[in-house]
Homo-oligomer: A and B are copies of this chain.
Amino acid sequence: MANLSLRRARTIIRKTLEQGREMALKPLSVVVLDAGGHVMAFEREDGASPGRFQIAHGKAYGAVMLGMPGSAQMQRAEDQAYFMAAVNGVFGGQVIPVPGGILLRDSKGAVLGAVGVTGDTSDNDAAAGKAAVEAVGLVADL
């Protein structure tokens, strides 16, 4: 299980959106990145604001590039704001350090990629993504 397939990425997105509807969340947007931080698939629900790709991407991209999920990045940003600001400098301003950036790990802990979820509160975004990742048999590191 070294790589994510498009089929699996698509399922993670679909299940995140379903979970969002079950939790009665605002319209969600969900991206799946591969282990190199490159976009595999994305969907933005009707009614979401137009800039949601960039936010979903920023959550997932930071997780992959740093090997740290959104909640750990947020902790670091709260402890040492200038560090996360500097990290954003070296990654071209592409990192959004809050929950909703979830590392996808296999059963051995290897990182297969990341999911980025945005649209509701950061914690709800993360919860919806977690349920979807676990539904496809992967470990959600959020």
Contacts and interface: CB of A to CB of B under 8 A. Distances in A.
| Tier of interface size on chain A | 35 or more
A58 B42 contact: no
21 contacts: A2-B3, A5-B46, A6-B43, A34-B36, A36-B36, A37-B50, A41-B42, A49-B66, A49-B67, A54-B90, A57-B90, A58-B89, A77-B83, A80-B98, A82-B85, A83-B98, A85-B88, A86-B97, A88-B93, A89-B94, A92-B92
A135 interface: no
A44 B40 contact: yes
A8 to B, nearest CB: 10
Contacts of A96: 83, 86-87, 89-90
A38 B51 contact: yes
A67 B88 CA distance: 22
Contacts of A54: 65, 90-91
A29 B55 CA distance: 21
